[in-house]
Amino acid sequence: MKKGFERGILSSYDYKKKGNWIGFSMMIVVVAAMVASMLYPILSALFNGFKANTEVNSFPPRFLPSEWHFGNWGEAWSYIELPQFLKNTLMIFGGNMVVTVLVLGMAAFSLSKLNVPYQKGIYFFFMITLFIPPSTYLIPNFLNLRDLGLLNSFAAFWLPAGASAFFLLLLKNFFDGIHYEMIEAARIDGASDWQTFIRIAVPLSIPIFATLAIFVFSTAWNEWFWPSLVMHSDSKYPLATAIYKYVISARRLDLNIRFAILSMVMLPPIVIFLLFQKFIMRGLHIGGVKG
């Protein structure tokens, strides 16, 4: 018998009991309240960006603007050099992505398909770093970059991007799912290992690269503390660090303009998330709990 929906914890029989209905409705109310409390702050940030400054400061605050001031966004755009900082963020994102795909992609391909001797030990050497808490070597990491002379350069982000055991794990798990026969077939056709990687493995891995891209993008977009340590000039700060320095810590900045800037920074990741939900959810599942 095919029902309208598969049963969950509750069966269709449970729905018929009155007491359960009350409980179920209460649960729905709680979930609805949760949804509202998730959306309310985000929307109020957005709407505050369109209010007159006096209205943002009025007490008690209102949710919707009584008058829409679209000019706030223009003022916000020119308050700091957003395009410059945006460019820096994108530079970091692009470089990190290239390094991740090439360096970790090759390593994961080798571990997954090339059967080198001592593979287990090598894999362990990479994976064990997942278990070392990053805060414990935060400062030595900074000193190391300094010793290498990489401070205040984009290379300080690009090169270490290849040192992510988590991404290596994601890629290796994905390559493990590629059938060995494909690799074998390429070999028979005379492809070298490099050609197999570039012509077979990489094109097949576009979905996992998309998932990775979202992770890498969100790190590049969000990270504010580490860049503030490593970079020390306006021409190098990524967006998040610049916002922290010049907007969050600013004393004399009207609240409505502040919210307009924050909305500008918040909207791109939200839009990307809504567009690429599928990849993000997949990433959560593959990554399991390591995200």
Cα dist from 248 to 48, 74, 89, whole Å: 15, 19, 18
Does 198 interact with other proteins (rule: CB under 8 A)? no
Nearer to other proteins, 94 or 160 (CB): 160
User: Largest alpha-carbon pair distance within the chain?
Assistant: 75
Query: What is the closest distance, in whole angstroms, from the C-beta atom of residue 70 to other proteins in the complex?
Result: 20
Does 225 interact with other proteins (rule: CB under 8 A)? yes
Binding mask 90-129 for other proteins (x = CB under 8 A): ---------x--xxx-xx-xxx--xxxx-x--x--xxx-x
Touching other proteins, residues 146-165 (CB under 8 A): 146-148, 159-160, 162-163, 165
Which three-class secondary structure state does DSSP give residue 109?
helix
Our CA dihedral for 162, 166, 172, 178, rounded to 10 degrees, sits at -110
Does 132 interact with other proteins (rule: CB under 8 A)? yes
Does 194 interact with other proteins (rule: CB under 8 A)? yes
CB 79 within 8 A of CB 232: no
For tokens 């969050």, the residue is 248
Task: Name the segment binding other proteins (CB under 8 A); options: 72-80, 90-98, 191-199, 205-213.
Answer: 191-199
List alpha helices for the chain, DSSP H: 12-16, 18-48, 53-57, 71-79, 82-99, 105-113, 119-127, 138-147, 155-158, 165-176, 180-188, 193-196, 202-204, 206-222, 225-230, 239-243, 255-275, 277-286
Choosing from 24, 73, 77, 79, the residue that interacts with other proteins (CB under 8 A) is 24
Structural tokens at position 267: 């909207």
Task: Name the segment binding other proteins (CB under 8 A); options: 59-67, 75-83, 90-98, 205-213.
Answer: 59-67
Touching other proteins, residues 29-58 (CB under 8 A): 30-31, 34-35, 37-39, 41-42, 44-45, 48, 57
Does 221 interact with other proteins (rule: CB under 8 A)? yes
Please state the separation of Cα 24 from the chain's center in Å. 35
Touching other proteins, residues 63-82 (CB under 8 A): none
Nearer to other proteins, 82 or 255 (CB): 255
